[in-house]
Chains A and B, each alone.
Chain A
Amino acid sequence: MEKRQKRRVWLVMAALLFVVAALLMFLGQGEEKGPAALEVDFPRRMRAPDRERAERRRTQVLPTVAPTDSGTAAEPSRPRDPLLAALPRGPGKTAVIIEANALRHSPIGGLLLDCLMRDGGKQLEEFRQKSGVDPLQDLDRLVVTDEGMMLSGNFENARFKDLLGERVSANYGEGARVYEAGESSVTNPDGTTVKRRDTSAIATWNNQLLVVGKSPDEVKAAIDRVEGRGPDEPPAISESSTYGEMYGVLSVEMIARLFPPEQAALAQRLRDVAQNVELHLDASSDVALVAEVKGPSADDVTDLGKSLGAALSLARIKAQAGEDKDLAQLLDFAKVKPDGDSFTLEMAVPLAVIQERLAFCREERRAAEGGRAPETGTQAGVEQAPAPAR
C-alpha cells in the first residue's frame, strides 16, 4: 500500500514536466511567425504584368503599304512599340532600357529619389520649370545605346525651343522634328569668348519620343526606324525581352570594361568567348539581376560560366572572412546556370541592404527640406506613389 502512495510522486512529476514542457515549447518556438527567409524574385521571363505593359505600348500603326502589281492587298501591319522600333538593329549593338516610371515607383526608386533630391529637390524643380517636363511624372522609359540616348513618355508640355536654345530645327519624316546644334559661344573663366560647333542632334517624335544622338544622321536614322524606313533586321531588344525594371543587350566589350582590374584575365576571356550579354534587372522588391551570356562555342561558354561562378564564390568567401555580412548575403544568391552555348548569371541585392546603404540620402534630404513643408510633387510623390505602370 505504501508503494502505491509512493508511485503517485511519478504522476505529480509528470504533470509538472508537462507544464514545464508546454512553457518551454511556447517560449522556444514563439507564437509569432519568425521572419520569412529572404527570397529574391529573379526576372527570368515575361510575366503577366510585363505582357500587359508591352501590349499597352503597341500604340504605333504603320500606314498600310499600297497594293502590289499582282493586285493582292497587303495585310495591315500590327501595332508596335515605337521605342522598340527606334532601337539600333543588328548584332553587337548595345541598348539598355530603363523603365524610369516603374523604377521610380519601386522601393528602390524611392531610395534613389532620395539621393536625387538630397538638395531638397531644388535642381529638379528648376529643370521642371525650365523644360516643362516633370521627369517624375512624364518620363516613361530611358534608353542608352551606343549612339546616344532615347527617352519615351508624354512630352506634350515640353518647351523644346526654350530648352534647346540656339539649335536649328526642322521637321523630319511624318511626325518628327530634328534639332541640330549650330555654333555656340562659350565664355571662358578669363572672360574671353570662344565659338564652338556641337555636332550632337536631338529629335522629337510625336511628343512621345526624344532621341539624343551624336549626329543629325544618327537621330534621323532612329526616326526612320520608327517610321518604318529602317533596315529589316530585328531591333536590339525584342518585345519578348521587355521584362524587369532595366533590361537590354550590352556588347561584350562594355561588360568587360566593368570588371575590376584584378579580374582582367576573366574580362579578357569574356571578350574571347561571348558574343553578347542580355541583361534584366528587377527592382519590384529586392534588386535582382539576370544576365544571359551567349557565345558560339558551348564548351568555351561553359568554362567561362565555371570561371565566373568560381570568382563569385571566391568573392563570397572573402566577404565572409572579412565579416562583410551584407556582401556575403548578396552573393548567397549569386549563381551561374549553364545551358549549352549560353549561361545565365543571377545576382541579387536584398532591398534591406540597399536601404541600409542609401539611408544617408533620406537623412540628408530631410535635413535639406528642414522646416519647409514638403512639396506635393516631390515628397508626396515618393510616399504616395501610385502603382507602377508595368
Chain B
Amino acid sequence: MRPVLGIAGYVLREAASRKFILAFMVGITLVLAVVAVSLRLEVIDGALAASRLFGKELRGNIQSIDVALRPVYQAAAFIVFYGGILFGIVACSDFAPGLMSPGRIEHLLALPIQRWHLLAGTFLGVMTLALGGTLYGTTGLVLIFGVKAGYWTVGPLVAGLMACVGFAAVYAVMLTTATLVRSAALCAASGFAFMVGGIIAGHRQDISTFFEEGLSRSAFLAVTLVLPRLSALAEAAGDIASSTPLEVRSLGTLLLGVFVFGLGALAVGFWRFEGKDY
C-alpha cells in the first residue's frame, strides 16, 4: 500500500503545482466568500421571511427554511455532480498521460514498485483531489447557510461524496484510456463520452422507447446495462441534498454498482499497463 500512497502523493504534489487547479480552489473560495458576505437571510421561527443579495431584496416565498433551501441545495448538488465531473475530466485528463510521458515513466517503472501500484496511486491521488475539492465546496456551502439560516444538513456533503463516486467511474475509464493511448485529449474525450453514456444509462428505460422493439432496443438496453448510471446517481444526489424522498430503489446498491464499474475499468487498465512496453 505504501507505494500506492507514494504515487498518490506524487500526483497530489503535481496537482498542487497546477495553476488552474489552484485557480479553481480560489474560485470556489471567492464564490463562497461572496455568498457569505453579500447574502442576508431573515429567518423567523424557522421560516425564511426575506432574503437580500447585495442589499437587494430577492422575491421569494415565505416558507420553512429547509423547504426554501431545497432548490438551492438541489441546484448545488447538480452543479457539484455534473460540473465537478466535467471540471475533473478537463483538469485531470493529463495527469496519467503526463505520468506516462517519456523520461518519466521509465524512471518510475525502474523504481521498486509494481506497475499496478502506479495506476492505483494515480487513481487514488486524483480521487483525493476530487474529494478534497468537493468537500471544501459543499462544506463551505453548508456552513454558510447553516450559520446564516440556522439550518444544518449533511445532505449536500453526502451529495458531494456521491458525485465523487460518479467521477471515480469516469476517471477509471480515463486512466484506462491513458494506458491505451498516451493522449490527454483522448482521455478527456473518453471521460466525456462515458459521462454522456452514464447520463443516457440512467434514463435507459425512457430512452429505449425511442428504439424500435427488437434487436435495436435490446442492443441499447444491453449496452446501457453495463454503463455507470450517472444521471440516476445525480438525481439521487439532488434528492439527498434537498432532503426529499429518493426515487431510486436502493441508493447503496446503485452507488456500489457505479463504484464497482470504476474498479472494473481500472482492472482493464491494469491489464493493459502490465503488458505495455515504454
Interfacial residues, chain A to chain B (CB-CB below 8 A): 3-4, 6-8, 10-11, 13-18, 20-31, 33-35, 37, 305-314, 316-317, 331-332, 334-338, 343
How far is A8 from B261 in the complex, measured between Cα atoms in Å?
18
- Given A21-B261, A25-B228, A29-B232, A309-B62 contact (CB < 8 Å): yes
For residue A18, which residue of chain B has the nearest CB? B264
How far is A20 from B264 in the complex, measured between Cα atoms in Å?
9
**A28 near B46: Cβ-Cβ < 8 Å:** no
- Given A17-B261, A309-B62, A313-B64, A28-B249 contact (CB < 8 Å): yes
- The number of chain B residues touching the other chain, given as a range, is 35 or more
- Given A7-B274, A21-B226, A309-B63, A28-B247 contact (CB < 8 Å): no
**B62 near A34: Cβ-Cβ < 8 Å:** no
**A21 near B258: Cβ-Cβ < 8 Å:** yes
**B264 near A8: Cβ-Cβ < 8 Å:** no
B109 at the interface (CB under 8 A from A): no
Contacts A8-B271, A28-B256 supplied; 19 other A-B pairs, CB < 8 Å: A3-B274, A4-B275, A7-B274, A10-B116, A16-B264, A20-B260, A21-B228, A25-B229, A25-B254, A25-B261, A27-B249, A27-B253, A306-B49, A309-B44, A309-B48, A314-B45, A316-B64, A334-B64, A336-B62
**B45 near A313: Cβ-Cβ < 8 Å:** yes
The 8 A CB mask of B86-127 against A (1 = contact, 0 = none) is 000000000000000000000000000000100000000000
A37–chain B nearest beta-carbon distance, Å: 7
A16–chain B nearest beta-carbon distance, Å: 8
How far is A4 from B201 in the complex, measured between Cα atoms in Å?
34
B48–chain A nearest beta-carbon distance, Å: 8
Binding site secondary structure of chain A: helix
Contacts between chains A and B (CB distance < 8 A), count: 162
**B264 near A17: Cβ-Cβ < 8 Å:** yes
- Given A25-B228, A314-B46, A335-B62 contact (CB < 8 Å): yes
Find B275's partner among A7, A28, A312, A343 (CB 8 Å cutoff): A7
How far is A29 from B177 in the complex, measured between Cα atoms in Å?
27
Interfacial residues, chain B to chain A (CB-CB below 8 A): 42, 44-50, 61-65, 67, 116, 201-202, 205, 225-226, 228-229, 232, 244-258, 260-261, 263-265, 267-268, 270-271, 274-275
B17–chain A nearest beta-carbon distance, Å: 31
**B64 near A28: Cβ-Cβ < 8 Å:** no
**A29 near B267: Cβ-Cβ < 8 Å:** no
Find A28's partner among B61, B257, B271 (CB 8 Å cutoff): B257
How far is A333 from B260 in the complex, measured between Cα atoms in Å?
39
B224–chain A nearest beta-carbon distance, Å: 10
**A310 near B44: Cβ-Cβ < 8 Å:** yes
For residue A308, which residue of chain B has the nearest CB? B62
* Closest 7 pairs (CB-CB, A-B): A28-B254, A24-B257, A309-B62, A17-B264, A28-B253, A313-B47, A25-B257
**B268 near A29: Cβ-Cβ < 8 Å:** no
Q: Could you jot down 24 A-B contacts, CB within 8 Å?
A: A6-B274, A10-B267, A15-B264, A21-B226, A21-B260, A22-B225, A24-B253, A26-B225, A27-B249, A28-B232, A28-B252, A28-B253, A28-B257, A29-B232, A29-B249, A29-B254, A34-B247, A34-B249, A35-B245, A306-B62, A313-B44, A332-B67, A334-B64, A337-B62
